[in-house]
Structure 1
């Protein structure tokens, strides 16, 4: 019979101060980046947004707010109290409330101005 208690996985909230943005990649770009000869990507500004370019393809970057926050976790070790054997633990290093979406757009054409979307207006003030 074991004398150890199963108390679960220790969890702490320890923001690391890094600003994270998650980017959703289109399948064709992901495939190209994972290939043996990945393309060179450039990031350019336009009148209304940033544009990611690879050769003749271009994608406009759009911020999308999420209704559910995404929590980024990092494994760590916990030794509480210090005389105990270290055990696996988790740290929440960041909470992400919005993501970046890449929208395919014709090369050379400016991204359309977003109007009337309350969540995009709200995000600008954050």
Structure 2
């Protein structure tokens, strides 16, 4: 009968209290940021969402929920006792259930005019 004496890698749950968000960059923005002369980015408000702008380009920030959680890990050294050498392990400092994606925005696109939709007519009469 075989036995396993290796306990594996210790994993501790140690949230650091910071609110982390992952930002998914479109390929064209990533190329701009990795270029020799990266642009200045600004964050501005709009009627629909926040906008990330770089020169004439702009992207709307949208939150995407995910069904699988993503854990943010960092290395840790956990002492097994006060006299022993610390054992290498991992700490889960945050768990994220959503990401922020950047959607290209066009400044010239106007909102479509709503015409004759039954739910809009119903809502006005209430």
Instruction: For residue 6 of structure 1, report the CA deviation from its aligned partner.
Output: 2.3
Alpha carbon RMSD of aligned pairs, Å?
1.8
Q: Which SS does the other structure have where 1:102 is aligned?
A: strand
Is the 2:64–2:100 contact (alpha carbons within 8 Å) kept by the matching residues of 1? yes
TM-score, normalised on structure 2? 0.79
Q: 5+ unaligned residues in a row in structure 1: which ranges? A: 113-126
Q: Which SS does the other structure have where 1:32 is aligned?
A: helix
User: Is the alpha carbon distance of 1:87 and 1:37 closer, same or farther for their aligned partners in structure 2, counting shifts above 3 Å?
Assistant: same
Task: Return 17-26 or 27-36, whichever deviates more.
Answer: 27-36
> Where does residue 53 of structure 1 map in the other structure?
53
> Where does residue 88 of structure 1 map in the other structure?
88
Is the 1:10–1:88 contact (alpha carbons within 8 Å) kept by the matching residues of 2? yes
Instruction: For residue 10 of structure 1, report the CA deviation from its aligned partner.
Output: 1.1
Task: Return 81-90 or 41-50, whichever deviates more.
Answer: 81-90
TM-score, normalised on structure 1? 0.79
Is the 2:52–2:61 contact (alpha carbons within 8 Å) kept by the matching residues of 1? yes
Q: Which SS does the other structure have where 2:29 is aligned?
A: helix
Deviations 1:83-105 (A, max 9, x none): 21112110000000111010001
Q: 5+ unaligned residues in a row in structure 2: which ranges? A: 113-126
Deviations 1:1-38 (A, max 9, x none): xxxx4221111000000000101000010111111211
> Where does residue 42 of structure 2 map in the other structure?
42
